[in-house]
Structure 1
Amino acid sequence: MSLLAATKIVWALGLIGWYMIRYPFERRVKRERVVDARSRRRERILLTCSTMGLGIIPGIWVATGWPRFANYPFTVVQLVFGTLVFIASLWLFRRTHKDLGKNWSVTLEIKEKHRLITEGVYGHVRHPMYSAFFLWALAQLILIPNVIAGPAGLVGFGILFFFRVGQEEGMMLDTFGDEYRAYMARTPRIIPGLY
């Protein structure tokens, strides 16, 4: 098997792993009553940007090799390191879902019995799911030897993150007030000890 075939398989398995983690939680939370939902149209646009960068653009490269002109040489070290980063992102992604339980949602929503989660991975960063997606985007950058498809995840998800995180924190402040302010003061956003 060639290195390119191996990297395509790793990326595809990572995408399947993401879906297998997300699907049961998505089904479970559909029954929860939403009491506050913000910016549905804006959310769809941001989710589309993220999906393009983490799914569609790299998926086209994996399926067709296009755009071939943007390919560059690839090494075993990149394959191994990219695979390890992808595994770490999936582990963190699963933990975030497990820690959030019924409080989880794809878009900015507050559920009827929503509570502020500050345990588990949420004890280290306020937005570990975003951390997991940034790890996925980093894995994609390392795994896909193409200057368009590789960084597309960082661009697409970066757009979602930077246009959404402030709104999300505003919603949490509106809902949890001083409890969330105290949580913000002691817990970094997405990188433990840094940001």
Structure 2
Amino acid sequence: MALLLKLPLLVLEAVCMRISGIPPNPPTSSGHVVVPDWREHFLRNLAYPSKILRITSWLAQFVEFIVIVAYCNPTGPMSHLVLKTLVADTSCVVRLRVTPQFLMGNGINLAGTILRVLCYRALGRLFVFELRIQKDHELVTDGPYAYVRHPSYTGLILSILGGFLGHASSSWILQCGPLQNAFIQALTVLWIIVAIAVISSLLLRTSREDAMLHKAFGDSWVKWSEKVPYQLIPGVY
């Protein structure tokens, strides 16, 4: 059935969220950490709610996955129980089809994740989530950093927006009744607030990181910033 085509895309969406949102390297005490200002404190304080909401998003994707499997295999031993427990009306399941909006969200999420991975590879051990000049730190100006100065932020923002588009389309949360529950409504509002807060924090953080690198690398950073004048989007911003 056409619904089954959505299953690998749900898995892809969950994997992208895992790759984009979890640091590729453990925190390090090497080098000099930048004294955090209010912007950095604000972003760090979002780490725990972001983790919780990432887990709940994975749970929603898992539920949608098993609902589709149960609907497409009605004679399965657990199918009736799954559908009876997780959907308000089995007729809603046909609305979980792959839509253009879902595909767009999936594509944006994947593009953001690929960009993040390219940044992970370009920076290697230097890629950590906190602002830090590590021992033997080098100014990386190749790969994605040859086009914008903060491509990893661009990638994460794309992943967040893509994930939102995916959930805001033909998802189990929207189509099969969970939003009738007050707790799910509150959790959805919180997800949106945290997503907006993370994106806003990343936008505010770019100038802070530029100042850190300028101080650490001096003329090398100035030459790079003249060659790569845009922070997030080539030719735009």
Q: TM-score range by the shorter chain?
A: 0.7 to 0.9
Are 1:141 and 2:138 matched, yes or no? no
Are 1:179 and 2:220 matched, yes or no? yes
Amino acid at match of 1:18: S
State which drifts further: 55-64 or 100-109: 55-64
- Give the drift of 1:100: 0.7
Pairs within 5 Å for 1:1-195:
1=3, 9-18=11-20, 22-23=23-24, 26-27=25-26, 30=28, 33-39=30-36, 43-49=40-46, 52=49, 55-57=51-53, 59-60=55-56, 63=59, 76-145=99-168, 148=189, 151-152=192-193, 154-187=195-228, 188-195=230-237
- Give the drift of 1:48: 3.3
- Tell me how far apart the structure 2 counterparts of residues 150 and 6 of structure 1 sit (CA, whole Å): 24
Which has the larger Rg? 2
Percent identity, aligned pairs only, is 20
- Tell me how far apart the structure 2 counterparts of residues 8 and 52 of structure 1 sit (CA, whole Å): 22
State which drifts further: 8-17 or 154-163: 8-17
- Give the drift of 1:154: 4.5
- Give the drift of 1:166: 1.6
Partner in structure 1 of residue 78 of structure 2: none
1:120/1:138 CA distance change after superposition, 3 Å: same
2:211 counterpart SS class: helix
Provide the aligned C-alpha RMSD in A.
3.3
1:48/1:11 CA distance change after superposition, 3 Å: farther
- Tell me how far apart the structure 2 counterparts of residues 78 and 51 of structure 1 sit (CA, whole Å): 29
Q: TM-score, with normalisation over the residues of structure 2?
A: 0.63
- Tell me how far apart the structure 2 counterparts of residues 78 and 50 of structure 1 sit (CA, whole Å): 28
- Tell me how far apart the structure 1 counterparts of residues 212 and 23 of structure 2 sit (CA, whole Å): 23
- Give the drift of 1:82: 1.2
- Runs (5+) with no aligned partner, structure 2: 64-94, 169-173, 175-187
- Give the drift of 1:50: 6.1
Asked if the contact 1:58–1:152 (Cα under 8 Å) also holds between the matched residues in 2, the reply is: no
Q: TM-score, with normalisation over the residues of structure 1?
A: 0.75
Asked if the contact 1:130–1:190 (Cα under 8 Å) also holds between the matched residues in 2, the reply is: yes
